[in-house]
Amino acid sequence: MSLKLKFLTCPECAGHSYSSYSSNGETANVNCRCGHNYKGKFEYKTVDYPNVTILGETFKKLDVEKEIFYNETHNDAPFGVNVKIEFHKESHYHRCDRKKRYNAKTRYNATEFHYLYETFGFIEYGVAIESNIHRIGGTLDLTHIKSIVITKATKKHRDH
C-alpha cells in the first residue's frame, strides 16, 4: 500500500516550500518562500509509508497506527523523546533559504507521538507530536514524511 504526495513546484527557485497558497482544487495561487508569486498546478507522486525507528527498533514502511506516551514521571525518559523527521524533497515542509536546503526537522522533548493520526481537515493521514514539557504540539501530513527516528531526550532543549 502506498500514499499519494500532493505538491507544488515554484518556477523561479524549483522549490516546493511556500508561505501561503489559495486553491480552487487542482490549481493554486502560491506565495513561495523565495518571494516569487505564481499560479501552479498540483503535482502528484506515489510514496511509500515512512520507515519509523522508535528507540532503536525500526519498522519498515509502517502502515499501522502507533502511539507513544512519555511524561516527566517516566524514570527512563524524564525529558521525553526527540523526534527527527526527514521529508521527501517535494514536500512543502522541505525548507529552502537560497543558501541551504533543509530536508529534516527535529521536535525536541516530545511526550506524545501519534502515528496515522486521524485529523478533521485537509490532512488525511497525520503525525501528531506534542510536548507537555514545552506545552506545544502540532500535526504533520504523513504523505510528506520519508522517515522518522525517535530517540530518548537527554536534556530539556530550548526549543520544541
Q: Give the model's confidence band at 50: pLDDT under 50 very low, under 70 low, under 90 confident, else very high.
A: very high
Q: How far is it, in rounded angstroms, from Cα 115 to Cα 67?
A: 6
Q: Give the separation between CA 26 and CA 76, rounded to whole angstroms.
A: 48
- Distance in Å from the first CA to the final CA of the chain: 32
pLDDT at 116 over 90: no
Mean per-residue pLDDT of the chain: 84
How far is the C-alpha of 30 from the C-alpha of 91, rounded, in Å? 15
The SS3 call for residue 45 is strand
Query: How far is it, in rounded angstroms, from Cα 51 to Cα 14?
Result: 27
DSSP run (H or E) holding 144: none
| 63-102 residue pLDDT tens | 888 887 876 556 677 888 999 999 988 888 766 555 555 5
CB neighbour list of residue 106: distance below 8 Å, 6 or more residues apart: 82, 83, 84, 85
* Mean pLDDT in residue range 146-158: 92
CB atoms inside a 10 Å sphere around CB 104: 14
pLDDT at residue number 84: 94
Task: Give the pLDDT mean for 52-57.
Answer: 91
